[in-house]
Structure 1
Amino acid sequence: MNVKTMPVVELEAKDLPAHCPNPAMTLWSSHPRVFLDFDHEGTAKCPYCGTHYRLAPGVAFKHH
């Protein structure tokens, strides 16, 4: 059985705040928009479709 792996979407500072579905996704595969919560390693996973996101090297988010 083949396991389909989800691609990793790398995000730049201009893409923040990040959400899924992202603008590159096709309309037919849309789900409700969810803003992503990144962990300390700079990665996040969409709870709807499982797409993995990561911040590009050097990108840091600001905390309030």
Structure 2
Amino acid sequence: MDATKPLETIEVKTDRVGCDGGGGALGHPLVYLSLVKEGFVDCPYCGRHYVLAEGAHVGHGH
């Protein structure tokens, strides 16, 4: 990963996300990440930065 390139930030409405790095040949194994604790999380494989959208509800569902 290029340290000078800014991380990709993705705004989400759920407190759990699945990241595969965009799939295809440049992707990585699918991992599920939780935003419950901090309201954001970085993918340990590709560095995508996921943030909860304003007004998103945390902890609802299963």
Identity of aligned residues (%): 36
Larger helix proportion of the pair: 1
Provide the alpha-carbon RMSD of the alignment.
Answer: 2.4
Alignment gaps of 5+ in structure 2: none
Task: List 4+ stretches of structure 1 deviating above 2 A.
Answer: none
Q: Which residue of 2 aligns with 1:48?
A: 45
- Structure 1 residues 41 and 17: CA distance shift in structure 2, 3 A: closer
Q: Which residue of 1 aligns with 2:7?
A: 6
For 1:26 and 1:35, locate their aligned partners in 2 and report how far apart those are by CA, in whole Å: 14
Unmatched tracts of structure 1, length 5 or more: none
TM-score normalised over the length of structure 1: 0.71
Q: Which has the higher strand share?
A: 2
Partner in structure 1 of residue 17 of structure 2: 18
Question: CA deviation digits over 1:4-60, x for unaligned, max 9?
Answer: 1111000123xx5311126xx241221011111225331000011111000100112
